[in-house]
Amino acid sequence: MIADDDTIFEQGLSRLRKPVLPLVNMVQFLYLTGPFETIKVVLGSLTKAVELEGVLYDNPQQLLKPYTSFLREFEVIKGKKKLSAALPFIINEKEEPVAKRPALELWIKQQILSRELEIINSLLCGPCGCVLCCTGPNSRFDEASGFKGRMKQEFFEIPLGDNEIDLFDISRVDTAESRALTARSNPPLQLGQAPFYKNEMTLFHWENGWSLILPEGSICPRLAPDTKRCTVYDNRPEVCRKPQIFPYVLEKTPDIAKRSDGALIPVFMARNKILAVWDCPYVRRLQHEIGAYAEMSGLEPIFKKSKT
């Protein structure tokens, strides 16, 4: 259970109170309007504290250091470098193409926000003692994690990369039938005359890749029931590192676009939002702080339930 005060969240709160995007906007402005040839030169000039959005950043140079590789992508605009990876096709909410420069800005900010929120999530998640992300619906840990009542879902899915499945020593299903479907297909994959999620916890190879399926009442095999801690935390799957405060500057769509050279590239939609999952105890506790973080970052905060 979470303590009555917010002191357990202090490390994460200190990051929420000083979002990095205002600094990113400042660096972008200085670079594009000033005589600077590289981002490195701009960062080197930030030797004093700066105040932005009513927040004092004591050491902006140090705060921005982890994001240098992303910031350097702005150098494309002055012709000083090439993009490290091809830019996806970005559209607005009217499904109109976004011009190259604002598209680049959105892409960079999505990457930076993803990195920052991963850190903030780790700082806020640990003190909660919550394991909702690690269990199937209606597990014995639900109430301790702050969820009351019964969930409507019949299973939860943890998507995995090909190099992550060996973290789990459990049964696998990798058949032509499974690879032709996804976990959300209707009708669902049948195993032993029952839907796949009515069986034991299993790894499935779907059309869109591997995933661990947590049926009702199950817990992740890598969660220690006595300590409620992940036994492979340092090497946990990528999806388990994702925050419950999601960067929603861009949203990936199912569409594919064709570039002028014939290459196929993914399509993203500009959203300019922060999406916080209401199931998470620290999201419920820190709603106002998360909203302020989003607004200081120039984004709209959205709160939404995932598990019902």
Same domain, 177 and 250: no
Same domain, 213 and 260: no
Structural domain contains residue 284: no
Q: pLDDT-derived band of residue 148, with 50, 70 and 90 as boundaries?
A: low
- pLDDT score of 236 more than 50: yes
Same domain, 257 and 115: yes
Residue 160 structural domain = 132-227
> What pLDDT does residue 34 have?
95
> What pLDDT does residue 1 have?
43
Top pLDDT among 243 and 46 is at: 46
Same domain, 23 and 70: yes
Same domain, 102 and 248: yes
Same domain, 124 and 166: no
Structural domain contains residue 120: yes
Same domain, 33 and 94: yes
Give me 223's structure tokens.
């969660």
Structural domain contains residue 52: yes
Q: pLDDT-derived band of residue 86, with 50, 70 and 90 as boundaries?
A: confident
Structural domain contains residue 292: no
> What pLDDT does residue 243 have?
67
Q: Each residue of 175-210: pLDDT tens digit?
A: 999 999 999 999 999 998 899 999 999 999 999 899
Same domain, 91 and 143: no
Q: Report the number of distinct structural domains present in the chain.
A: 2
Structural domain contains residue 266: yes
Same domain, 218 and 105: no
Same domain, 116 and 168: no
Same domain, 108 and 87: yes
Same domain, 187 and 163: yes
- pLDDT score of 168 more than 70: yes
